[in-house]
Structure 1
Amino acid sequence: MAIPWVTTVARLILGVVLIAAGLPKFRDPIQSVTAVKAYQLLPESIATTVGHLLPIAEIILGILLVVGLLTRISAVLGGLLMLAFVFGIAWAWANGLKIDCGCFGGGGQLAAGQEPTYLLDIVRDFGLVVCAVWIALFAPGRLALDTKLGLGKSEREND
């Protein structure tokens, strides 16, 4: 059956996106903090901490998903992270903020004349939530370390 392969593709999509989102923020933590603060959702000190820890969490979750280790837990955490992003972007939109989401680095106030891409960002992140739910339901998929280490269903059981 195709379900294990769909799970693997969903794992790779969510994992690669998380890594791609985390790396630029990890390389520029000051910009990551700026992006988190731009949402005006968290107190300054908490926003600073989140700005520093977020890229690390994204990269770790992304790697775990790509290799299929602790797959179900990683999918749930990744899905919750994506839901938090959807909420944050919707919050910014509803409150009339004109910011770059900071999803793949950058972030903060947009320059004059620039318009935010909130709807596109929300649709993308919600699509990633769907991937996370699928993975959580049908983990670990094919080519997963969970299977090799006896932490998940065998590929034969997953058929």
Structure 2
Amino acid sequence: MRGRSWLDIVGTIVRLGLAAVWLVSGGIKAADPDQTYVAVRAYNVMPDSGVAVVAAVLPYLELALGLLLLLGLGTRLVAAFSGLLLLVFIAGVAQAWARGLSIDCGCFGGGGDVAPDKTSYGTELLRDSGFLVLAAWLMIRPRTLLALDDVLTRGER
């Protein structure tokens, strides 16, 4: 580990943590596509045909982001895509809250209509903002340990 700094260690923890988020979230959604459809539809922002596309694609997009981060392949670019997706999620939750919808975000399974006292928009926004900070870290400093990026660019340093 010669020549590595504590920032590389922090970055590795950040990369693996964000990878775990996407792998768990995507895996849960992929395992229950009907519930994913219900969760996406609950936001009430697109026609059913759009809901079907988003519900079908989202789990596999999340799994792909997670796998690429786990491997450390294209870390900066994957972090940027992660950040964009997280901003979409934050906007979705914020608009649901502002419109007075009573839904569970469906971020880690479940989702759809819930009783008004069962919403947790503030917590969801804080959590996703924290994940956004992780993505930002990797956009600014993508160098991490045990990453294919390092192996593929070794000759360029």
Give TM-score scaled by structure 1 length.
0.91
Aligned residues: 153
Contact 1:146 1:152 in 2 (8 A): no
Answering whether residue 134 of structure 2 is matched by residue 131 of structure 1, we say yes
Residue 146 of structure 2: aligned partner: 143
Residue 46 of structure 1: aligned partner: 50
Unaligned residue ranges in structure 2 (runs of 5+): none
Residue 92 of structure 1: aligned partner: 96
Pairing 1:5-154 to 2, within 5 Å after superposition:
5-110=9-114, 112=115, 114-150=117-153
Distance, in Å, in 2 between the alignment partners of 1:78 and 1:152 is 28
Contact 1:90 1:118 in 2 (8 A): yes
Moved over 3 A (4+): 151-154
RMSD: 1.6
Q: Percent identity?
A: 43
Contact 1:32 1:107 in 2 (8 A): yes
Distance, in Å, in 2 between the alignment partners of 1:86 and 1:53 is 18
* Aligned partner of residue 96 in structure 1, secondary structure: coil
Give TM-score scaled by structure 2 length.
0.92
Distance, in Å, in 2 between the alignment partners of 1:133 and 1:99 is 28
- Tell me which amino acid in the other structure corresponds to 2:145: R
